[in-house]
């Protein structure tokens, strides 16, 4: 086995580092603020509320789906219980809301170029809505359930 330099391996690790940096950008910018004890602003509270609601939605939706799938009576059935009766992807809605909440909280200290922190929730939103989140799940559901859901 060759343990020498591999461009593919380096690209994989660089991609992960870029991903983590992009997603955590609002928190990094918030924590790099020189003011050691800034006063909480309305946007901080709104962002925290968004984060909390998003976290609860994602957690509850994931638990409901887990419970649904672990019930033998539901084998081959489409989940339409709890939050899943309201949305096809309530867990992703919670995830997106959570990251926008992080950004809104951090926004109270952002200035000039630091607004680049909006890349974090935008990246998560685009990823879940148009790339690795909903599209593959919809394709899989179409194959498995057809017009039934």
Span 49-96, pLDDT tens digits? 999 999 999 999 999 999 999 999 988 888 888 998 898 899 999 999
pLDDT tens column, 101-113: 999 999 988 889 9
pTM across the whole model? 0.81
Give the integer Cα–Cα distance in Å for 23 and 100: 11
Q: Measuring CA to CA, which residue among 35, 27, 39 is closest to residue 114?
A: 27
Nearest to 65 by CA among 86, 53, 80: 80
Q: What's CA 89's distance to the chain center, in Å?
A: 12
- Beta-strand ranges (E) seen in the chain are none
Q: Name the helix (H) or strand (E) containing 81.
A: none
d(CA 84, CA 13): 35
Which residues, 6 or more positions from 100, have their beta carbon under 8 angstroms from its beta carbon? 50, 54, 121, 125
18-57 per-position pLDDT tens digit: 889 888 999 888 888 776 677 889 999 999 999 999 999 9
Tokens of 149: 């859901």
């Amino acid at each position: 086995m060759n343990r020498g330099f591999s461009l593919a391996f380096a690209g994989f690790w660089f991609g992960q580092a870029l991903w983590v940096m992009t997603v955590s950008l609002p928190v990094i910018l918030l924590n790099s603020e020189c003011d050691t004890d800034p006063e909480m602003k309305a946007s901080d509270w709104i962002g925290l509320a968004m984060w909390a609601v998003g976290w609860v939605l994602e957690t509850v939706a994931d638990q409901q789906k887990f419970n649904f799938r672990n019930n033998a009576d539901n084998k081959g059935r489409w989940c339409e219980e709890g939050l899943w009766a309201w949305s096809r992807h309530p867990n992703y809605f919670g995830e997106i809301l959570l990251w926008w909440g992080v950004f809104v909280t951090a926004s109270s200290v952002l200035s000039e170029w630091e607004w680049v922190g909006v890349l974090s929730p935008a990246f998560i939103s685009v990823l879940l809505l148009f790339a690795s989140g909903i599209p593959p799940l919809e394709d899989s559901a179409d194959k498995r359930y057809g017009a039934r859901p």
